[in-house]
């Protein structure tokens, strides 16, 4: 009979979950006991409820996934977990994990992903814990996990469990006289069933296939070799009548084909070029773990995530799920442009501004105060699950197109006519040296919080900006009153324009500086964002001395 073995171990430094779980290079996870320590700490953080519990386990298909799934099976068995629901081949998208946790009311789940970070032996891996509401663990839980990793002395494991994860089935093991069950589940079934409840598939199918009156709405859906491949295959090819020419890169690969599985104009350039060249009405791409989305229209007309959120907010009534549940409030992360705020005002709904990271939306959703939310980082989602959801966002967009009969560009232009336009751009300076970036943030915080900064006047490109407010953003959760401090430096000007700067919490080495710029125009809505925002970008670079601190004269990615 397989039985538990207790293994002595010592703590590793730096097992602190960031914006979304622990992300490190694969080689860091490969160190002796590194992964085991972290998994044991997750289970210990749940020690009051772990015995007899059920957990969901799955990830985005990247290198090391299957080995880590096996470790989780063995360590869970030793810690008294009663049952694991594991995606076949270890595959589950992040929103699918959230869906399954909620559907089967499990204690939580372990998501194995480094999301949009590249994969393969020389790149990244990640581990994240989601709670019983299906959402990423809040700060108090991740802080507890981290504390446990700094104190760990032992972990428990059942080395002799051998569970095939490639074959669907229910596998019972007797461990220390207890029954321990692993269910290998179909990776897409539960998720697809749910999407069919949320959306009207026949309408979307009619749109994609066309009719006597209307030619097919030609879509190109790019999974970037990430986890969404099997979901796209089932939903678009098998359910919605799309053909092979409507999808690309739908086979998950351990290294994402060497690409950076991040759906933006830089890393999803293949999609952008294909849509520019081809006869497509719509293009979409997802990230490695399927929670991000990018939407483009004909000729690669780009929809910023901030605008995407606002357009969906204004059109939710076309989607059956919201017809049933009603529409509660909206929310966005602080750096996200405020386009959705204008929709909230028109519709008389609450709007929340939370720190960066999906975990901050969960409490509001659980309290029934939030229906739709998004982040400028290509995350859009609703209270149907507790993660952002790329495939959901595309189905939502196609529902809006089907209901309105308008093109993507027409939908946007009409939106701007009604609400005005929030121009937005983000500059990323990836993998800079950490120390000077930290110094820059300290310098900038001091500068913008000194007396006299509020009210100061900045001119650039013929424009003049007067500082109205400047701070390091902090947030108090309205539901449990927990406080998150130092969530990003922001300078807000009299005319509502903003400069926001923060350091990324998802990188695996060095520092990534994110500079967010946005400004609002009531009637000048057809300009080019980079041109419109240039004066403000120059002000930001000047105030922060970013180029001097980072040694970079240009960003690595502009979105």
Residues within the interface to ligand VG1 (CB under 6 A): 19-20, 115-116, 287, 291-292, 333, 356-358, 375, 377, 379, 504-506, 514
| Nearest residue to Co ion on Cβ basis | 115
- Count of Cβ atoms closer than 10 Å to residue 130 Cβ: 28
Kindly give, in sequence order, each residue whose CB lies less than 8 Å from that of residue 549, ignoring residues fewer than 6 positions away.
Answer: 436, 437, 439, 440, 443
Q: Which does 504 bind (CB under 5 to 8 A by kind): Co ion, ligand VG1, none?
A: ligand VG1
Which three-class secondary structure state does DSSP give residue 35? helix
Work out what residue 248 binds among Co ion, ligand VG1, none; the CB cut-off runs from 5 to 8 Å by kind: none
One of 289, 341, 383, 389 touching Co ion (CB under 5 A): 289
- Cβ closer to ligand VG1: 318 or 514? 514
Is residue 287 within the footprint of Co ion (CB under 5 A)?
A: yes
Q: Which stretch binds Co ion (CB under 5 A): 9-17, 268-276, 281-289, 550-558?
A: 281-289
Tokens of 147: 């504390």
Contact partner at residue 187 from ligand VG1, Co ion, none, CB < 5 to 8 Å by partner kind: none
The verdict on 291 binding Co ion (CB under 5 A) reads: yes
For residue 44, the partner it binds in ligand VG1, Co ion, none, with Cβ less than 5 to 8 A by kind, is: none
Of the candidates 318, 315, 314, 272, the one whose C-alpha atom is nearest the C-alpha of residue 296 is 272
Return the CA Rg of the chain. 23
Residue 32 zone, left/alpha/beta (φ > 0; ψ -120 to 50; rest): beta
User: With contact defined as beta carbons under 8 Å apart, do 263 and 224 qualify?
Assistant: yes
Helices then strands, counting H and E runs in the chain, come out as 18, 27
79 contact, one of ligand VG1, Co ion, none, CB 5-8 Å limit per kind:
none
Q: Which stretch binds Co ion (CB under 5 A): 40-48, 230-238, 279-287, 424-432?
A: 279-287
505 binds, options ligand VG1, Co ion, none, Cβ within 5 to 8 A by partner type: ligand VG1
**Residue 539, both tokens:** 């002000």
Q: Are 379 and 392 in contact (CB under 8 A)?
A: no
- 115 counts as catalytic: yes
C-beta neighbour count of 170 within 10 angstroms: 10
223 forms part of the interface with Co ion (CB under 5 A): no
Q: How far is the CB of 505 from ligand VG1 (least distance, A)?
A: 3
20 versus 228: smaller Cβ distance to ligand VG1: 20
Three-state SS sequence of 244-269: HHHEECCCCCCCHHHCCCCCCCCCCH
Which of these is catalytic: 41, 93, 115, 519?
Answer: 115
Measured CA angle at 508 (ends 133, 309), to 5 deg: 50
What minimum distance in Å lies between the beta carbon of 234 and ligand VG1? Answer: 21
Closer residue to ligand VG1 in complex, CB, 192/294 = 294
In angstroms, the Cα distances linking 276 to 207, 273, 300, 408, 498 are: 21, 5, 5, 14, 32
Residue with Cβ nearer Co ion (62 or 332): 62
451 contacts: CB under 8 Å, gap ≥ 6: none
Nearer to ligand VG1, 341 or 387 (CB): 387
- The smaller minimum CB distance to ligand VG1, of residues 288 and 297, is found at 288
CB of 360 to Co ion, least distance (A): 16
Q: Which residues contact 282 (CB under 8 A, 6 or more apart)?
A: 217, 218, 219, 220, 275, 295, 296, 297, 298, 397, 398, 401, 408
User: How far separated are the first and last CA of the chain, in Å rounded?
Assistant: 55
Options 115, 142, 293, 519; binder of Co ion; rule CB under 5 A: 115
Q: Which is nearer to ligand VG1, 281 or 518 (CB)?
A: 518
- 522: which 2 tokens? 């009531």
Size of the site for Co ion (CB under 5 A): 5
Q: Which residues are catalytic?
A: 115
Which residues would be at the binding site for Co ion (CB under 5 A)? 115, 287, 289, 291-292
């Amino acid at each position: 009979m397989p039985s538990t073995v207790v293994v002595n171990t010592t703590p590793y430094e730096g097992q602190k979950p960031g914006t979304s779980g622990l992300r490190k290079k694969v080689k860091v996870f490969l160190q002796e006991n590194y992964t085991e320590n972290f998994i044991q700490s997750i289970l210990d953080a749940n020690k009051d409820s772990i015995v007899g519990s059920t957990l969901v386990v799955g990830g985005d298909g990247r290198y090391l996934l299957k080995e880590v799934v096996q470790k989780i099976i063995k360590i869970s068995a030793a810690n008294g977990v009663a049952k694991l629901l594991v995606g076949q081949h270890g595959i589950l998208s992040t929103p699918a994990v959230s869906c399954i946790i909620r559907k089967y009311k499990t204690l939580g789940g372990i998501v194995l992903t480094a999301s949009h970070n590249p994969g393969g032996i020389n790149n990244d891996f990640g581990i994240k814990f989601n709670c019983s509401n299906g959402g990423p663990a809040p700060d108090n839980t991740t802080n507890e996990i981290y504390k446990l990793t700094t104190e760990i002395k032992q972990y428990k494991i059942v080395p002799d469990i051998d569970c095939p994860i490639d074959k669907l089935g229910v596998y019972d093991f007797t461990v220390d006289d207890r029954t321990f069950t692993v269910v290998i589940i179909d990776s897409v079934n539960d998720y697809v069933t749910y999407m069919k409840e949320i959306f009207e598939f026949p309408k979307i199918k009619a749109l994609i296939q066309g009719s006597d009156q209307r030619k097919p709405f030609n879509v190109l859906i790019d999974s970037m070799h990430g986890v969404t491949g099997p979901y796209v295959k089932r939903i678009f090819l098998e359910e919605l009548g799309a053909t092979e020419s409507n999808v690309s890169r739908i086979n998950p690969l351990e290294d994402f084909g060497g690409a950076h599985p991040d759906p933006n104009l830089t890393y999803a350039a293949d999609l952008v070029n294909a849509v520019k060249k081809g006869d497509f009405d719509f293009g979409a791409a997802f990230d490695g773990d399927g929670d991000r989305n990018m939407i483009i229209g004909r000729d690669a007309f780009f929809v910023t995530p901030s605008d995407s959120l606002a357009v969906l907010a204004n059109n939710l009534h076309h989607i059956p799920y919201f017809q049933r549940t009603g529409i509660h409030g909206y929310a966005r992360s602080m750096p996200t442009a405020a386009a959705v705020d204008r929709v909230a005002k028109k519709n008389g709904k609450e709007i929340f501004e939370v720190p960066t990271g999906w975990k901050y939306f969960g409490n509001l959703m659980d309290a029934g105060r939030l229906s739709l939310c998004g982040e400028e980082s290509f995350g859009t989602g609703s209270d149907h699950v507790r993660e952002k959801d790329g495939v959901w966002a595309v189905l939502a967009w196609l529902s809006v197109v089907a209901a309105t009969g308008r093109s993507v560009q027409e939908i946007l232009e009409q939106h701007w006519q009604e609400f005005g336009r929030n121009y937005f751009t983000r500059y990323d300076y990836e993998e800079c040296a950490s120390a000077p970036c930290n110094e820059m943030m300290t310098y900038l915080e001091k500068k913008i919080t000194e007396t006299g900064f509020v009210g100061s006047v900045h001119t650039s490109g013929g424009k003049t900006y007067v500082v109205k407010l400047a701070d390091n953003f902090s947030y108090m959760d309205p539901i449990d009153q927990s406080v998150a401090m130092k969530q990003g430096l922001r300078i807000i000007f009299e005319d509502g324009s903003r400069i926001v700067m923060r350091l990324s919490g998802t990188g695996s080495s060095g520092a990534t500086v994110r500079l967010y710029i946005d400004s609002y125009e009531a009637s000048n809505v057809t300009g080019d964002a980079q041109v419109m925002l240039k004066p403000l970008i120059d002000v930001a670079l000047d105030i922060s001395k970013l180029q001097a601190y980072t040694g970079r004269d240009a960003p690595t990615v502009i979105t």
